[in-house]
Amino acid sequence: MAEEYVIETRGLTKEYDGTVAVRDLNLRVRKGEVFGVLGPNGSGKTTTILMLLGLTDPTAGEMRVLGFDPMRQPLSVKARVGYLPDQVGFYDELTARENLIYIAKLNGIPRKEAYRRIDEALAQMGLADVADRPVATFSRGMRQRLGLAEILIKRPQLVILDEPTQGLDPQAAREFLDIIRDLRSHGISVLLASHLLYQVQAVCDRVGLFHKGRMVLEGTVQELARQILGGGYRVQVEAEGPREILLQALRKVPDTLSVQPVNGRVYELLAQRDVRPEAAQAVVQAGGKLLSLMLEEPNLEEIYARYFQEVEHESARAAA
């Protein structure tokens, strides 16, 4: 399999006696990208992650993580991949530093090097002041950051985060996103499973939508918007002038799917891309006065909601 992918699966399937948790998954994550995994509860996100780490055996299919087979070479995979589980726990009676020392030892990092990396990682996560406090006294956000510090001391090439921002306050969540961006700027690939679509859209290069064990959509947000919303770019044009003429002019703007008058002087265009320049030109050429232009980019929340609306419609139709 090609080198440019850090994760590549083919026909990956996991059955738990009777129920299929992951079905025929073909997932590809490119080197250096942040890939978001979305999907309702029980759609197979965590199961996929566990298989990628060799922590649970697939029923069928093949996979490569950083070029290794997690089933046959789990140690090579786990030495290079940092994993933050959806529920992180630490040894409460040990201090943050002691917890990290244990992990460093399990990774076979030489003592001196380990201590250096631990200090570095704790400082980077803003935990330097509490490094020698028992983890029992830590808040949820601090634990989450300690989990990230643990990942950093491994110097991973790939980081897998399972719902890392759940339960974090908005400020902490934002910091978390910054850390993810920082990882990417260091050339580390990231697989991020989350329910917080706004956050996923903010950091991910590409996303995959899981539904009932299948990956039903995959691509950049723009691609998904085109596919599901038939565009997804909304341009609001505020202009003065004869309504019918303006409407006609705006309809002729290339890549525009529809134009709706909203109120008085406001028109809304649904387009496949950012058509602000063309819209402005159209208004002016039609003799109107352009007052303002506003762009609303395609929105993952909308894509998600629309997709599942359609699924529901279809299943309702099938039932009828």
Ligand X SMILES: Nc1ncnc2c1ncn2[C@@H]1O[C@H](COP(=O)(O)OP(=O)(O)OP(=O)(O)O)[C@@H](O)[C@H]1O
Question: How far is it, in rounded angstroms, from Cα 136 to Cα 192?
Answer: 27
Among 16, 92, 139, 287, binds ligand X (CB under 6 A): 16
Q: Residue 43 binds which entry of ligand X, Mg ion, another protein, none, with Cβ cut-offs from 5 to 8 Å by kind?
A: ligand X
Among 46, 99, 165, 194, binds ligand X (CB under 6 A): 46
Residue placing its CB nearer to Mg ion in the complex, 46 or 189: 46
* Least distance in angstroms from the C-beta of 140 to ligand X: 17
Those residues whose C-beta lies under 8 Å from the C-beta of residue 33, and which sit 6 or more positions away, are 184, 189, 190, 205, 206
**Which residues, 78 to 117, sit near ligand X by CB under 6 A?**
86
The answer to whether 179 and 148 have CB atoms below 8 angstroms apart is yes
Does position 156 bind another protein by CB under 8 A? Answer: no
* Closest residue to Mg ion, based on beta-carbon distance: 46
Question: How far is it, in rounded angstroms, from Cα 146 to Cα 99?
Answer: 9
Reading the block at residue 305, the tokens are: 């909601």
Among 2, 26, 42, 62, binds another protein (CB under 8 A): 62
Residue placing its CB nearer to another protein in the complex, 108 or 170: 108
The three-class DSSP label of residue 294 is strand
DSSP 3-state percent helix, strand, coil across the chain (nearest 5): 40, 30, 30
Residue placing its CB nearer to ligand X in the complex, 21 or 135: 21
Question: How far is it, in rounded angstroms, from Cα 65 to Cα 74?
Answer: 10
Residue placing its CB nearer to Mg ion in the complex, 121 or 193: 193
Q: Which has the closest alpha carbon to 184: 3, 35, 27? A: 35
Q: Residue 150 binds which entry of another protein, ligand X, Mg ion, none, with Cβ cut-offs from 5 to 8 Å by kind?
A: another protein
The answer to whether 54 and 71 have CB atoms below 8 angstroms apart is yes
Instruction: Tell whether the torsion through CA atoms of 202, 205, 210 and 216 is positive or negative.
Output: positive
Residue placing its CB nearer to ligand X in the complex, 38 or 121: 38
User: Which of these ranges, 44-52, 131-139, 230-238, 241-249, lies near ligand X under the rule CB under 6 A?
Assistant: 44-52
**Which residues, 47 to 76, sit near ligand X by CB under 6 A?**
47
The answer to whether 203 and 34 have CB atoms below 8 angstroms apart is yes
The three-class DSSP label of residue 296 is strand
User: Which of these ranges, 32-40, 55-63, 122-130, 196-204, lies near another protein under the rule CB under 8 A?
Assistant: 55-63
Does position 21 bind ligand X by CB under 6 A? Answer: yes
* Helices then strands, each counted (H, E), the chain: 11, 14
Instruction: Tell whether the torsion through CA atoms of 104, 106, 109 and 110 is positive or negative.
Output: positive
Stretch 107-146: interaction string toward another protein, x if CB under 8 A: xx--------------------------------------
* Contacts to another protein by CB under 8 A: 11, 13, 46, 50, 53, 55-62, 71-76, 78-79, 81, 83, 85, 87-92, 102-103, 105-108, 147, 150
